Amino acid sequence: MEFIDRDEVPVAHLPGRDIQRVVGKAASLESRKMTVGIARYGLGREVMQPHQHAEETVFVIDAHHARVRYGPTSDDLPCRIDLKPGLTLHIPEWEWHIFEWDDDGYAYCLVIYGQVDNIRPEDRAVTESDSEASPR
| CATH number of 62's domain | 2.60.120.10
The mean pLDDT of the chain is 89
Q: How many residues does the chain have?
A: 136
Domain count, the chain: 1
What domain range is 100 assigned to?
9-118
For residues 89 and 92, what is the distance between their CA atoms, to the nearest angstrom?
A: 10
Question: Across residues 128-133, what is the average pLDDT?
Answer: 40
How far does CA 59 lie from the centroid of its chain? 10
Q: Is residue 60 part of a domain?
A: yes
Of 4-18, 38-52, 76-90, 107-121, which range is least confident?
A: 107-121
| Confidence at 129, pLDDT banded by 50, 70, 90 | very low
Q: Is residue 73 part of a domain?
A: yes
CB 103 within 8 A of CB 74: no
Q: Is residue 2 part of a domain?
A: no
Tens digit of pLDDT for each residue in 40-99?
Answer: 999 888 988 999 999 999 999 999 999 999 999 999 999 999 999 999 999 999 999 999
State the pLDDT at residue 44: 84
Q: What is the DSSP letter of 132?
A: H
For residues 39 and 60, what is the distance between their CA atoms, to the nearest angstrom?
A: 10
Q: Is residue 3 part of a domain?
A: no
Question: Across residues 110-124, what is the average pLDDT?
Answer: 80
**What is this structure's pTM?**
0.85
Q: Is residue 133 part of a domain?
A: no
